[in-house]
Amino acid sequence: MKQFSKIMEIQEYLCSQSDIGKRIGFVPTMGALHKGHLALMNRSKMENDLTVCSIFVNPIQFNNQEDLAKYPRTLASDIKMLEDIGCDVLFVPGTLEMYPENETYIFDLEFGTLDKGLEGKFRPGHFKGVAIVVKKLFDIIKPTRAYFGKKDFQQLAIIRHMVKTLQIPVDIIPCATVREPDGLAMSSRNMRLTIAERTIAPKLFQIMSMVKTKAGKIPVEELKEWAIKKIHENPAFRVEYFEISDEDSLLPLRNWNQKEQAVALTAVFLGDVRLIDNIELFS
């Protein structure tokens, strides 16, 4: 695996590869890799000639400095995993490489309804930070395809919107959430759960699955109330939001008229670890 930390160097290498017709698959990450990331990598390897992974803990997408400080950093084991899976290129830039001092990055993209609720409401500035770094990474890597997990459902919607609005020539490939055998959605943050919390965590997906079986059978508001109450039956959980939204606009659904488009999304604290998950209700 080739490893780069400088923009000029990776650009030079990837240009030489795309010049000879190689299709580049890209998996942007913040490291602390798990099987969810590896599923994205495997998909990219199947569909492209060259797979590039980036590892960069993007400071400007953290609205909470404590969360940034606590974000797991496991570069040595990440590199080992990437080598084992056959990743071709790894890009690990430093913060100054991505955000040089005195750089003014003009980015005034509107996300309409997409960034107002859910994560956008509780993590102000988060999606702007994500969009800026993803745009920068796309400019550097110039991928043919880029792979994103559906676990970050709202992030995926924002990135698709940005790619469409700015006419960035990349195919965004959404990939199914990868779960532990007990249903817990894989996430880098899971490694911060205590042993006791880890046994409780899968209950969240069990409740999301129950929501799916009830969807369309009781009114939307009633179902949301039921879900929040059910999650709080376990006192270790604290729900930040639980919403049933339209998949395209991400606006809250008022009734089941457009139920084909309904997705339930939640953010829940378990101790000081914030879990997010979602489930498409009619697919």
CB 20 within 8 A of CB 112: no
Site string for ligand PAF, 192-231 (x = CB under 6 A): ----------------------------------------
- Residues in CB range of 275: below 8 A, 6 or more apart: 185, 187, 189, 190, 201, 204, 267, 268, 269
Kindly state whether residue 78 participates in binding ligand PAF, applying the rule CB under 6 A. Answer: no
Catalytic residue among 37, 126, 161, 232: 37
CB of 234 to ligand PAF, least distance (A): 27
Strands annotated E in 22-91: 24-29, 50-55, 89-91
Tell me how far apart the alpha carbons of residues 72 and 70 are, in angstroms, rounded to a whole number. Answer: 6
- Quote the CA–CA distance of 149 and 42 in Å, as a whole number: 13
Q: Distance between CA 258 and CA 189 in Å, rounded?
A: 33
Please work out the total of residues on this chain that contact ligand PAF, with binding judged by CB under 6 A: 10
Measured from the CB atom, the residue of 126 and 224 that comes closer to ligand PAF is 126
In this chain, which stretch among 25-33, 62-70, 84-92, 116-124 interacts with ligand PAF, using CB under 6 A?
Answer: 25-33
Rounded to a whole number of angstroms, the minimum distance from the CB of residue 149 to ligand PAF is: 7
29 lines the binding site for ligand PAF (CB under 6 A): yes
Residue 153, Cβ neighbours under 10 Å: how many?
25
**Is 150 or 230 the residue whose CB approaches ligand PAF more closely?**
150
Measuring CA to CA, which residue among 85, 197, 216, 61 is closest to residue 134?
A: 61
Per CB under 6 A, which of residues 124..183 are in contact with ligand PAF? 130, 133-134, 152, 155
**Where is 82: in which H helix or E strand?**
helix 75-85
Annotation says 126 is catalytic: no
- How far is the CA of 177 from the CAs of 29, 185, 280, in angstroms? 15, 7, 11
* Interface with ligand PAF, residue 58, by CB under 6 A: yes
Q: How far is the CB of 20 from ligand PAF (least distance, A)?
A: 28
Specify the residue, 31 or 253, whose C-beta has the smaller distance to ligand PAF: 31
Q: Who contacts 267 (Cβ-Cβ below 8 Å, separation ≥6)?
A: 118, 119, 122, 239, 240, 241, 274, 275, 276
Smallest gap from Cβ 119 to ligand PAF, in A, equals 10
Q: Smallest distance from the beta carbon of 171 to ligand PAF, in angstroms?
A: 16
Q: Which residues bind ligand PAF (CB under 6 A)?
A: 28-30, 58, 61, 130, 133-134, 152, 155
Active-site residue set: 37
